[in-house]
Structure 1
């Protein structure tokens, strides 16, 4: 047996001892307060970001590029992974979680600027990048001329979060009472805070920092953006 798998199973026993009594109230149903849509990245630990250690509190969705959009024959729709808790478990808060240095955004940026030749990624990855390209293309075209590649990517991380939030807010499948929030998880010292801080960049489509701070003074120190476009 692969030693890593052996180690993972051993660690799972610690989880068993810690959590064995925490499933009593959620064995038959779940009513999570929030669904988080996070980028699939080993450096971004969805539950740990929020200090979540109770089953049933957070419905976690992960994919490269923290996408909420799914392509169907009828056109783009809100992904069923994201929509399920909103439609079936009474969840009324969606949090789109981007992160600094996002590989999916980097690859999409490189593809849109000719640095990454078409077809250079496996088909499954190309499919995911193709879902991001039409939403990030206007952002790439709007980037300041004097920004470097890393700076461009981190601005596009915000831009991508904004586009995912916008799609949710505009969808008829998402009830008006659902709050949609966009954040960026920073572990690369980009925003000037502590490593691992979540920066609030979008609330229900509002992206203006001053307006957000005025509307949400209780978290004004966590409302920051790199880019106003």
Structure 2
């Protein structure tokens, strides 16, 4: 019988204690969603531990957001017949009447960084990670020729974060499986002081394929201060 790691045992105890607090606070919040769900939006986030997926929206209501996560906030999956919208993203659109999709990138994204490194220098990653990078690579590679030659590495990565969000939004909008009635937004979660706001702010960079900041601010004056881009390529 395997021995229990004392540190892991304590960590699990701490997590369970936190869950007990959660269960006490949320006990009555599941009454209306115990048997079905009709989430208002599906969000596709990077699974980075620094990206607080529901908390970033101030969400504490079960049933409000259908939250998906993976490295690189990908909406694309490889199938036997080619690329398709990932099933976890498509499920709420297809089955729970969800008509808003939000692709959430973040500053300093490790998946985008690894993809950039793989494209420029090559990486030797385990097969599972290589598969994920392989989904991103063909969509990010065209961006490399647009980067300034003298750009610093961190700045290049954060521009590619935007480029990746744009490509994921584009893939959703172009898919025959996603109805035209579905609104698709692209945003970046910033905890590195890149966009000049507060740490943890979400910045809108793409609305249904529109990426021009002036046009977006004119169309959405109520959130104009939250519409920002680092890069208009």
Q: Are residues 1:124 and 2:158 paired? A: no
Give the TM-score, by structure 1 length: 0.97
Which residue is 2:140 aligned to? 136
Bigger shift: residues 143-152 or 166-175: 143-152
Bigger shift: residues 51-60 or 136-145: 136-145
For 1:26-70, what per-residue CA distance to the aligned partner results, in whole angstroms no more than 9, with x for missing partners? 001000000000000110111001000010000000000000001
Q: Are residues 1:196 and 2:200 paired? A: yes
Give the TM-score, by structure 2 length: 0.96
For 1:111-136, what per-residue CA distance to the aligned partner results, in whole angstroms no more than 9, with x for missing partners? 1111x43xx11110010000000000
1:80 to 84, 87, 93: 87
Aligned residues: 226
Q: CA deviation at 1:146?
A: 1.8
1:146 to 133, 150, 158: 150
For structure 2, list consecutive stretches of 5 or more residues without a partner in the other structure.
none
User: d(CA) in 1 for partners of 2:146 and 2:78?
Assistant: 25
User: d(CA) in 1 for partners of 2:150 and 2:99?
Assistant: 40
Output aligned runs, 1:183-222, within 5 Å.
Answer: 183-222=187-226
Q: CA deviation at 1:3?
A: 1.2
Secondary structure of 2:22's partner? helix
Which residue is 1:227 aligned to? 231
Q: Are residues 1:173 and 2:173 paired? A: no
Structure 1 runs of 4+ aligned residues shifted over 3 Å read: none
Secondary structure of 2:43's partner? strand
1:51 to 46, 54, 58: 58
For structure 1, list consecutive stretches of 5 or more residues without a partner in the other structure.
none
